Amino acid sequence: MSRPELQAPPEFASTFYYGDTEAKKYTTNTRNQQIQADMTYRALELLNIPSSQPVFLLDVGCGSGLSGEILDEEGYVWAGVDIAPSMLQVALEREVDGDLFLQDIGQGFGFRPGSFDGAISISVLQWLLNAETSHPTSSPPYRLNRFFTTLYSALRNPSRAVFQFYPSSDDQIQLITSIAQKAGFGGGVVVDYPNSKKAKKVFLCLFVGSGGGQQLPKGLEGEEDDHVRFERRREKEKRRDRTGKRKGVKDKAWILKKKELYRQRGKEGVPRDSKYTGRKRKSIF
């Protein structure tokens, strides 16, 4: 079966392929969870954000929050956008920590300039290559231009954006990278395991500004090591409690840092700091 983005434009596929039932099935599928986790971890490696500073990330095509769950675990504050209402509803039901926006990324963003310290996207960028009609504003070049131009504005200088995607040809890669560069981005394509049909992954790694001497990372070589996948899976399971829910490493310092970032971003309703902030509650039983 061919990929959904090859059969229908995103505004149709968002309800046909990712309706209420399909969104829940996708989210609870353990294989989807593992693939999403592996690619999110890799995207964060390529993003290369210093661990010493709090950051605000944009998750483009956040879906039901599988990537956002990883961002939570790693201590990032984030916001997510997606075109599928059912996927966002599942994310709300799962009580993800990120702020969620219903958005067609092909129409561009309306965020304030410099709002985000970085952006990631997993398996989304190729959707912009499917046009609904022959109208100029629905064409892939127009949608890609709107997307990259407004994203560039929403990112601070310097920063990075990393997109894992599934191109169907070298021409698509060339189209995407050329439009991103015209929008002001530096960087290019990073390919992991280029000689493996099964493990090959394509990432678009973009730079805003040249501060810090940003250089394009190298892709992973050879065949994907099963041991690496096992270690990632083991680390993921270590973060779960007995009920199967993820355990976030959220001590007092982490909570204070996150609350301060929320205040800097102008978010309302942030609880005030007190002696009870981050205090562990005693077990009821």
| Lowest-confidence segment of 21-35, 148-162, 217-231 by average pLDDT | 217-231
> Is the distance from CB of 57 to CB of 44 less than 8 angstroms?
no
Domain count, the chain: 1
Enumerate helices (H) and strands (E) in the chain, giving the number of each: 9, 7
The CATH number covering residue 162 comes to 3.40.50.150
- CA dist 63 and 85 (Å) reads 9
Q: Tell whether the model's pLDDT for residue 126 goes beyond 50.
A: yes
Q: Tell whether the model's pLDDT for residue 140 goes beyond 60.
A: yes
Q: Tell whether the model's pLDDT for residue 166 goes beyond 90.
A: yes
DSSP 8-44: S-HHHHHHHTSSHHHHHHHHH-HHHHHHHHHHHHHHH
Task: Give the pLDDT confidence score for residue 9 in this predicted structure.
Answer: 52
Task: Give the pLDDT confidence score for residue 227 in this predicted structure.
Answer: 47
> Is the distance from CB of 108 to CB of 149 less than 8 angstroms?
yes
Most confident of 16-20, 91-95, 278-282: 91-95
Is residue 214, in this structure, part of any structural domain at all? Answer: yes
pLDDT tens-digit map of 233-251: 556 555 554 444 455 556 7
Is residue 281, in this structure, part of any structural domain at all? Answer: no
Task: Give the pLDDT confidence score for residue 285 in this predicted structure.
Answer: 36
Is residue 70, in this structure, part of any structural domain at all? Answer: yes
Is residue 209, in this structure, part of any structural domain at all? Answer: yes
| Mean confidence (pLDDT) of the chain | 83
Phi, psi of 166 (to 5 degrees): -120, 90
Q: Tell whether the model's pLDDT for residue 51 goes beyond 80.
A: no
Q: Domain range spanning residue 22? A: 4-264
Is residue 274, in this structure, part of any structural domain at all? Answer: no
pLDDT tens-digit map of 8-32: 555 545 454 567 888 889 899 999 9
Is residue 273, in this structure, part of any structural domain at all? Answer: no
> Is the distance from CB of 65 to CB of 92 less than 8 angstroms?
no
| Higher pLDDT, residue 32 or 229 | 32
- CA dist 14 and 12 (Å) reads 5
Instruction: Return the SS3 of 80.
Output: strand
- CA dist 262 and 99 (Å) reads 11
Considering the entire predicted model, what is its pTM? 0.78
Task: Give the pLDDT confidence score for residue 242 in this predicted structure.
Answer: 43
Is residue 275, in this structure, part of any structural domain at all? Answer: no
Instruction: Return the SS3 of 248.
Output: coil
The percentage of the chain sitting over the pLDDT mark of 90, rounded to a whole number, equals 56
Band (pLDDT 50/70/90 cuts) for residue 213 is: low
Is residue 284, in this structure, part of any structural domain at all? Answer: no
How far from 67 is each of 77, 96, 205, 222, CA to CA, in Å? 12, 10, 17, 26
> Is the distance from CB of 42 to CB of 192 less than 8 angstroms?
yes
